[in-house]
């Protein structure tokens, strides 16, 4: 559409719906969003901005309702909330009690999800804590679980390996925390989506990580069936991890056990949402990975056609419910192993920023998603064309109408099996970069969310589970995000590569003793070079081979050498010998002010290849690189012992009785 001549009206309409008409770029300069992009994003929210007349009508409607509370509001325990002199009603507490309110919510409200009735409206009121408890000072591992193969795993790391790592890392090394890559549900038809950050659902677990031989069905099977299952095991020593091969082998083995057992438990809380997920999983096996390409009657989960189809494949639906029961059992086992090993924190599970647009959540919750929008990032110095993650965002208006139940349920599902949650792209609790249909990644704008409600919900659910919260705030992030996180007891991210004084000449590295305490620190991340790769300039050479460098190879190598020199300067300033850089980099971050310091197995053993190379899909073996040593050998590897020795010395495990296992 042509730009609207009434820019002031368009700007006011956009502001009323949380759509940005300008923003601050990565270089801190203001960027004005094109009018047609603003109008297109408003259209995805059901707001007509295609003409001046339409804008005037929509603006009048927005202004009439601007004084009304949204469908969900937040309050902080101990602080209350002003509602305005004219607001009166009844607050229905989560525990069944009621409270008359007049103009304000009292400060002594209990934590919980409450409901305020005022006039003809029901408003969800979420009361969260002011701050989470202090996180213990400890160290641990950040795991790409799929990469950690053992003698008992089938081609890739699994939940059994996670339990073994927890047991040995906590018991033998004194580690206090394990950060695990997302293990949420995938689309169960091949080819599989390899990235753990594009799950089919964030509410349910992935059966891809099941250890078949740890199931009760395998344990009680006849010798003949057990032998048949064992013969299905895929190769466990391939150069790269073959997700499809692993899943086909596990699915066939689990189907065989399903046929030969009467012990077919389903999750005790198999509610409508879980059953809908099982129906979707069964339908995806028949009709393909993307529900948007299914026959029309099956695209609506509430349609009679879906109910009828579910009845026709009832046994397959039950099979997928069984897989969820197995996954929950094995995830709980891994968490129990961490507790029994005395870990100060335990397992922290990673929460991706979104879901596959063709997956289970996008199918079951179509009314909450802006299904035609993709989430990403605007252009910056590292990505001049922006980033398109291909994930649909939630509509903020629909979240408010549903009492933020979709967000609450996602957080609960992650914390069901963990002692903490790491929120990927935590800035998304404040705003997300929306890319409207047909536009490239850099042609989008920000849509704002109610961060007060999001934070209240997140902290409430974490408090109820006794869990910690970590936010990934790397890249271009508004100052309010990190500042608020620290105020509320949420750890932000500190990565050695990036902890520099960017305003000082030469941009020197900040000594770890001066890092913000409310952080989870690491040398690198899964999207950055490993230590060995950094030493060898492996990322630069790979990008050169793939034609991804913006500069010449010589210029890129020179820039990398400059960055390396700056880090070597830090080692000298801190008095850390640099004869073994793997050990040196662990030694320099070990005494950091950060509450948590993490290493990665890939760094500790000197792996060259990084797990994921942003900007690539099939050009690089993303999420397929196995650790070059077996899990059984990892804990006795002298390189690992040398790398973690500084961490163990600076952050010794607490003495005393171990934590109780989760019930």
Instruction: Report whether pLDDT(657) > 70.
Output: no
Q: In whole angstroms, give the CA distance from residue 192 to residue 213.
A: 22
Instruction: Report whether pLDDT(76) > 60.
Output: yes
Q: Between 243-259 and 314-340, two packed helices, what is the crossing angle to 10 degrees?
A: 110
Lowest average pLDDT, out of 71-85, 170-184, 644-658, goes to 644-658
pLDDT, averaged across the chain: 94
Q: Collapse the DSSP code of 225 into the 3-class scheme (helix H, G, I; strand E, B; otherwise coil) and give the result.
A: helix
Instruction: Report whether pLDDT(494) > 80.
Output: yes
Q: Examine residue 441 and state whether it is found in any structural domain, yes or no.
A: no
Q: Examine residue 592 and state whether it is found in any structural domain, yes or no.
A: no
Q: Examine residue 550 and state whether it is found in any structural domain, yes or no.
A: no
Instruction: Choose between 565 and 379: higher pLDDT.
Output: 565
| Percent share of the chain, pLDDT over 70 | 97
Q: Give the DSSP per-residue string, 34-68.
A: PHHHHHHHHHHTT---SSHHHHHHHHHHHHHHTTS
pLDDT at 5: 53
Same domain membership, residue 198 and residue 270: yes
Residue 330 near residue 337 (C-beta atoms within 8 A): no
Same domain membership, residue 325 and residue 200: yes
Instruction: Report whether pLDDT(71) > 60.
Output: yes
Residue where a domain stops, chosen among 304, 330, 356: 330
Residue 632 near residue 151 (C-beta atoms within 8 A): yes
Mean local confidence (pLDDT), 298-304: 97
114 phi, psi to nearest 5 deg: -115, 175
Q: Collapse the DSSP code of 116 into the 3-class scheme (helix H, G, I; strand E, B; otherwise coil) and give the result.
A: strand
Q: Examine residue 307 and state whether it is found in any structural domain, yes or no.
A: yes
Mean local confidence (pLDDT), 420-448: 97
Output the CA angle 194-239-196, nearest 5 degrees. Answer: 15
pLDDT at 382: 66
Sheet holding 596-599, edge to edge: 468-471, 420-423, 346-351, 177-180, 138-143, 596-599, 519-522, 492-495
Same domain membership, residue 324 and residue 265: yes
pLDDT at 65: 80
Cis preceding linkage at 208, omega within 30? no
Same domain membership, residue 94 and residue 12: no
Instruction: Report whether pLDDT(527) > 80.
Output: yes
Instruction: Report whether pLDDT(442) > 50.
Output: yes
Cα–Cα nearest to 198, from 620, 617, 629, 640:
617
Residue 659: pLDDT band by 50, 70, 90 thresholds?
Answer: very low
Cβ within 8 Å of residue 651, ≥6 positions away:
137, 138, 139, 176, 590, 597
Residue 655: pLDDT band by 50, 70, 90 thresholds?
Answer: low
Residue 660: pLDDT band by 50, 70, 90 thresholds?
Answer: very low
Lowest average pLDDT, out of 28-32, 177-181, 279-283, goes to 28-32
Lowest average pLDDT, out of 64-73, 96-105, 154-163, 414-423, goes to 64-73
Residue 3: pLDDT band by 50, 70, 90 thresholds?
Answer: very low
Q: What is the per-residue pLDDT across 614-636, written as a single tens digit (0 to 9) for each?
A: 888 899 999 999 999 999 999 99
Q: What is the pTM of this model?
A: 0.95
Output the CA angle 170-176-182, nearest 5 degrees. Answer: 95
Q: Examine residue 325 and state whether it is found in any structural domain, yes or no.
A: yes
The H-or-E segment that residue 282 falls in is helix 272-287
Q: Alpha helices of 444-550 — where are they, by DSSP H? A: 451-465, 479-488, 531-535, 538-545
- The size of the chain, in residues, is 663
Residue where a domain stops, chosen among 40, 65, 90: 65
First to last CA, the chain: 58
Domain that holds residue 32: 7-65
Mean local confidence (pLDDT), 191-207: 95
- Which contacts qualify for 529-533: CB closer than 8 Å, 24 or more apart? 529/610, 530/600, 530/602, 530/603, 530/606, 530/607, 530/608, 530/609, 530/610, 531/581, 531/582, 531/585, 531/603, 531/606, 532/582, 532/603, 532/606, 532/607, 532/608, 533/607, 533/608, 533/609, 533/610
Q: Examine residue 209 and state whether it is found in any structural domain, yes or no.
A: yes
Mean local confidence (pLDDT), 43-48: 96
Q: Collapse the DSSP code of 565 into the 3-class scheme (helix H, G, I; strand E, B; otherwise coil) and give the result.
A: helix
Q: What is the per-residue pLDDT across 369-396, written as a single tens digit (0 to 9) for each?
A: 999 999 999 987 667 788 899 999 999 9
pLDDT at 33: 97
Mean local confidence (pLDDT), 11-23: 96
Cα–Cα nearest to 279, from 251, 314, 244:
314
Same domain membership, residue 114 and residue 43: no
Same domain membership, residue 215 and residue 84: no
pLDDT at 190: 87
Same domain membership, residue 108 and residue 234: no
Same domain membership, residue 41 and residue 89: no
Q: Between 159-168 and 314-340, two packed helices, what is the crossing angle to 10 degrees?
A: 10
Same domain membership, residue 76 and residue 61: no
Q: In whole angstroms, give the CA distance from residue 179 to residue 165.
A: 11
pLDDT at 252: 98
Residue 435, by phi and psi: left (phi above 0), alpha (psi -120 to 50) or beta?
A: beta
pLDDT at 187: 86
Q: In whole angstroms, give the CA distance from residue 552 to residue 342.
A: 51
Counting the structural domains of the chain, the total is: 3
Q: Examine residue 302 and state whether it is found in any structural domain, yes or no.
A: yes
The H-or-E segment that residue 102 falls in is strand 98-102
Same domain membership, residue 76 and residue 55: no
Same domain membership, residue 116 and residue 59: no
pLDDT at 6: 80
Q: Which residue has the tokens 């991804």?
A: 548
Tokens describing residue 114? 């409450």
Residue where a domain stops, chosen among 330, 353, 386: 330
pLDDT at 86: 80
Same domain membership, residue 105 and residue 77: yes
Q: In whole angstroms, give the CA distance from residue 394 to residue 367.
A: 9
pLDDT at 270: 75
Lowest average pLDDT, out of 80-84, 284-288, 392-396, 483-487, goes to 80-84
Q: In whole angstroms, give the CA distance from residue 369 to residue 357.
A: 9
Cβ within 8 Å of residue 162, ≥6 positions away:
143, 145, 178, 180, 209, 331, 334, 347
Instruction: Report whether pLDDT(2) > 60.
Output: no
The H-or-E segment that residue 72 falls in is strand 72-76
Q: Examine residue 114 and state whether it is found in any structural domain, yes or no.
A: yes
Cα–Cα nearest to 38, from 86, 6, 70, 60:
6
Rg of the chain (C-alpha set): 26
Instruction: Report whether pLDDT(605) > 60.
Output: yes
Residue 263: pLDDT band by 50, 70, 90 thresholds?
Answer: confident
Q: Collapse the DSSP code of 445 into the 3-class scheme (helix H, G, I; strand E, B; otherwise coil) and give the result.
A: strand
pLDDT at 656: 47
The H-or-E segment that residue 101 falls in is strand 98-102
> How is residue 104 annotated by DSSP?
E
């Amino acid at each position: 559409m042509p730009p609207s001549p009434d820019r002031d009206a368009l700007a006011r309409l956009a502001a009323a719906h949380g759509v940005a008409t300008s923003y601050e770029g990565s270089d801190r300069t203001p960027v004005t969003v094109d009018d047609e992009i603003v109008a297109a994003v408003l259209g995805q929210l059901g707001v007509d901005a295609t003409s001046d007349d339409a804008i005037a009508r929509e603006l009048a409607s927005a202004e009439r309702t601007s004084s009304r509370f949204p469908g969900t509001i937040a309050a902080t325990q101990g602080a209350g909330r002003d509602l305005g002199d004219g607001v009166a009603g009844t607050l229905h507490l989560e525990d069944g009690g009621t409270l008359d309110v007049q103009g304000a919510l009292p400060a002594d409200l209990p934590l919980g999800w409450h409901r305020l009735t005022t006039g003809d409206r029901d408003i969800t009121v979420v009361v969260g804590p002011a701050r989470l408890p202090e996180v213990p000072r400890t160290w641990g591992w950040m795991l790409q679980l799929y990469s950690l193969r053992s003698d008992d795993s089938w081609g890739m790391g699994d939940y059994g390996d996670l339990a073994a790592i927890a047991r040995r890392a906590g018991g033998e090394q004194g580690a206090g925390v394990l950060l695990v890559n997302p293990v949420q549900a995938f689309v169960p038809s091949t080819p599989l989506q390899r990235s753990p950050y594009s799950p089919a659902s964030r509410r349910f677990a992935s059966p891809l990580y099941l250890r078949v031989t740890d199931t009760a069905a395998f344990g009680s099977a006849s010798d003949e069936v057990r032998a048949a299952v064992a013969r299905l095991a895929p190769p466990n020593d391939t150069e790269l991890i073959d997700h499809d091969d692993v899943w086909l082998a596990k699915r066939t083995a689990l189907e065989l056990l399903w046929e030969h057992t009467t012990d077919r438990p389903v999750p005790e809380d198999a509610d409508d949402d879980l059953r809908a997920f099982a129906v979707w999983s069964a339908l995806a096996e028949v009709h393909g990975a993307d529900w948007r390409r299914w026959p029309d009657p099956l695209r609506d989960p509430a349609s009679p056609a879906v109910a009828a189809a579910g009845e026709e494949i009832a046994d397959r639906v039950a099979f997928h419910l069984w897989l969820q029961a197995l996954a929950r059992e094995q995830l709980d086992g891994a968490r129990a192993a961490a507790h029994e090993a005395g870990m100060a924190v335990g397992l922290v599970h990673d929460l991706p920023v979104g879901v596959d647009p063709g997956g289970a959540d996008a199918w079951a919750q179509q009314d909450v998603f802006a299904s035609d929008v993709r989430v990403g990032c605007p252009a910056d110095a590292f990505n001049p064309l922006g980033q398109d993650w291909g994930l649909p965002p939630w509509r903020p208006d629909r979240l408010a109408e549903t009492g933020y139940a979709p967000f609450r349920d996602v957080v609960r599902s992650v914390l069901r099996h963990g002692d903490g949650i790491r929120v990927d792209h935590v800035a998304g609790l404040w705003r997300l970069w929306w890319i409207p249909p047909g536009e490239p990644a850099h042609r989008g704008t920000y849509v704002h969310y109610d961060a007060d409600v999001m934070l209240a919900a997140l902290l409430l659910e974490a408090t109820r589970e006794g869990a910690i919260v970590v936010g990934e705030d790397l890249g271009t992030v508004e100052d309010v995000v990190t500042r608020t996180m620290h105020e509320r007891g949420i750890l932000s991210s500190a990565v050695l590569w990036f902890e520099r004084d960017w305003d000082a000449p030469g941009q020197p590295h900040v000594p770890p003793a001066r890092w913000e305490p409310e952080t989870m620190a690491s040398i690198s991340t899964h999207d950055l070079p490993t230590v060995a790769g950094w030493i060898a300039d492996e990322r630069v050479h790979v990008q050169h081979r793939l034609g991804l460098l913006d500069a010449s190879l010589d210029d890129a190598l020179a820039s990398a050498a400059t960055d390396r020199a700056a880090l070597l300067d830090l080692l000298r300033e801190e008095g850390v010998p640099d004869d073994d850089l793997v050990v040196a980099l662990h030694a320099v971050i070990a005494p950091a002010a950060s509450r948590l310091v993490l290493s990665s197995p890939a760094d500790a053993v000197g792996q060259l290849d990084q797990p994921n190379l942003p900007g690539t899909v099939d050009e690089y073996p993303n999420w397929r690189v196995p650790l070059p040593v077996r899990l059984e050998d990892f804990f006795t590897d002298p390189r690992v012992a040398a790398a973690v020795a500084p961490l163990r010395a600076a952050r010794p495990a607490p003495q005393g009785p171990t934590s109780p296992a989760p019930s």
